[in-house]
A and B are shown apart, each in its own frame.
Chain A
Amino acid sequence: MKVSFFETGRYVPAPGTPREWPVPSGAYDPEIGAGAYRAMIDRARLVEELGFDWISLSEHHYSPRILTPSPPLSAAWIAAQVKKIKIALLGPIVPQSNPIRIAEELGMLDTMAGGRLVVGLLRGTTNEYLTYDLNPKEARERADEGMELILKAWTEPQPFGWQGRYFQYRTVSVWPRPLQQPYPPTYALGISRESCELAARNRLGLGVSYGPFEVMAKSTRYYREQAAQYGWEPGPDDIIYRANMVLGETDAEAETILKERAGIAPFPVRAGLRDALLEADKRNVAGEARPANVGGVLPTTFIGGPDTVINQIKRCREEIGAGVLDLSLHPPGSGDVDALMSAIELFGKKVLPHIRDI
């Protein structure tokens, strides 16, 4: 099993900072922000030293909770200061970005990072579409098309034009291309039928996140079935499972921590807005309809002391087939950075050495 640390740009908001998304930017404290970015490097060095395989980054907007609106900038910042660990962008929100710009920036990043880049291409969570005025009803199709265009931009040897449904370019010829050829390990991130099919069709990995093992397993099973139709078989490294983990020295300690954190939604939104977004953004698990998570709590699927968690990771490997765990070891937005560092150390010392052969 490979392990990735999900780095969330830990900004510690002053007491009384509103939580509802979008969080007023007038509440931002530049000094705290500067500290948050410095601390990213401290954590990157720690997880590298502990032997984590990847450090992963995401794109979120208008909130102190995950302070990384531009994932290529976060990646460049970290890549320049650690030497071995892979940098996983999981990932740029494709439907609200310029796909050519993504292809260019990731080409630069992989080259600057000496071929240490891992790429996840993401449709994005629903509230994020408000950031750049993206119609949620168009997000799915824009994401699929943008992802295909990024792959084309990395592989087509001659300048080309693109007549899409949502994107049109008459001249595309990306420099630099990624150092890893033809492109870095790339994953479609999502559990929907469309994500699984796109990944299978293009021989990409699949990244699933947060849900219970049995739900995630529906997607990864469908992904493997689709891949078989295209004549290939994904291996364990082709499946990432991003999850929350509450790790204690003992099971009892983990349960206590979990109770303290229960019910905190990462990006709470006003009820009327939430309902309208749910109406506009239809989602599915491997083709079975399910509501989007708008402003909701994310489940925690690994809970316990080291031995319990190791067993849960074995079960995850068997049920989901994931060969890469992308872990959030402490809730983003929590002010207790020391507890986060302790959780990383505990995982690195008591769990990581025992899951390599899983």
Chain B
Amino acid sequence: MSFAYFALKRFLKGIEVSEAFREGFVEADGFHIRYMEAGKGPVLVHLHGAGGLRLSPAHDLLARNYRVIAFEMPGFGASAENTKTQSMPELAATMAAVADKLGLDRYNLMGTSFGGKTALWLALQQPERVLALILEAPAAIRPEGAAPPPSAPEELARRLYAYPERQPPSPPVDPAVRAKTQKLVARLRGPDRDRDLETQLPQLKAATLVVFGTRDTMIPPEMGHFYRELIPNCHLVFVYDSGHAIGAERPEAFVEVVADFLERHEAFVISRTNTVIHP
């Protein structure tokens, strides 16, 4: 295989899908929902950030041990404009219905940024369904007055990544898709400090892992401790030298702790690292 082949594969992975992921569609709650799926094992449902569904190297790594199902939430990407959903709890209820329709009974749930808030609502609404909750740079609690995600591609890349120059080029976004998505995100993202959500978080049953990159400039990593204060079984981990898109920037570090948490929940704090040098 030539270098060009691998370069092309990496480029394609960045803009579209990794080889292992297959596209599927499901009808639920009046929406036609696209999803990407790969892997075998316990189910891990993923809800994307405000930029829409974009597979990262972390998805590939997780698919080695999990059946990863990454949904495209209604109104994102090439899906029809979503004028129906009026709030984040409604979006969460839709995504729960989508999972139901796929026959997913109990599953691990991962939400990224904007999708982190959707995942929190879903876990509150369907406590019996969610085995464990992973929040990647969640946007559910933001500093007061936080600006919505920028739309200019270069500025967006600077806010997503600590090292944008190390990322494959972003796929071009159709201005019509961007406009419809921004409208939806603006409607659903809710206030920076969402009292409705925060007053319910102490009832959250699922073991929860919150992960922030230490160089996240979209949502300051200093927001992490609020989740730990509000959610009964919540753990906070910083991924050093990563920006907002942790699964893209530090995929191995991210997946190592996520997989460990999914397997062991709060016992993930017990080290299993073998330090014997010469047995």
A residues apposed to B, CB below 8 Å: 145, 148-149, 152, 156-165, 167-168, 170-171
Chain A residues whose CB sits within 8 angstroms of the CB of B228 once the complex forms: 158-159
Q: Using Cβ atoms and an 8 Å threshold, which residues of chain B touch A161?
A: 235-238, 257, 269
Is B256's beta carbon under 8 Å from chain A?
A: yes
- Contact call A145/B269, Cβ cutoff below 8 A: no
B254 within 8 A of A: yes
Residue of A nearest to B227 (CB): A158
Q: Are the CB atoms of A170 and B268 closer together than 8 Å? A: yes
B43 to chain A, nearest CB (A): 24
Residue contacts A-B, CB under 8 angstroms, 15 given: A152-B238, A157-B225, A158-B229, A158-B236, A159-B228, A159-B236, A160-B236, A160-B237, A163-B211, A163-B237, A163-B240, A163-B256, A164-B241, A165-B253, A170-B237
- Would A170 and B271 count as touching, CB distance under 8 A? yes
Residue numbers of B with Cβ under 8 A of A are: 211, 214, 224-225, 228-229, 235-241, 250, 253-254, 256-257, 268-271, 273
A contact residues around B235 at 8 Å (CB): 161
Chain A residue with the shortest CB-CB distance to B235: A161
Once A148-B214, A170-B269, A171-B269 are accepted as A-B contacts, the answer to whether A162 and B225 lie under 8 Å apart by CB is no
Whole-angstrom distance between the alpha carbons of A121 and B175 in the complex? 48
Nearest CB of chain A from residue B274's CB, rounded to whole Å: 13
For B214, give the chain A residue with the smallest CB separation.
A148
Shortest C-beta distance, B190 to chain A (Å), equals 23
A167 to chain B: which residues have CB within 8 Å? 240
Most buried by B among A149, A160, A164, A171: A160
Which of B225, B239, B273 contacts A163, CB < 8 Å?
A: B239
Cβ of A165 to closest chain B Cβ, rounded Å: 6
What 11 new A-B contacts, CB under 8 Å, besides A158-B224, A163-B250? Answer: A158-B228, A160-B224, A161-B235, A161-B236, A161-B257, A163-B238, A163-B256, A163-B257, A164-B240, A164-B241, A168-B273
CB distance from B204 to the nearest CB of A (A): 16
Shortest CB-to-CB span from B217 to chain A, Å, is: 11
Asked if residues B224 and A148 are in contact (CB atoms below 8 Å), the reply is: no
Roughly how many angstroms separate A208 CA and B228 CA in the complex, as a whole number?
Answer: 40
Q: Which residue on chain B has the smallest CB distance to residue A164?
A: B240
A6 to B168, CA, bound (A): 49
Assess the A162–B224 pair: CB atoms within 8 A.
no
A152 to B221 Cα, complex, angstroms? 11
Closest 7 CB pairs of A and B: A161-B237, A170-B269, A164-B240, A158-B225, A158-B228, A163-B253, A163-B239
How many Å lie between the Cα of A164 and that of B228 in the bound state?
20
Smallest beta-carbon distance B28→chain A, Å: 35
CB pair B240 A165 closer than 8 Å: yes
B140 → chain A, closest Cβ, in Å? 16
A147 smallest CB distance to B (angstroms): 11
**In the complex, A126→B219 CA distance in Å?**
38
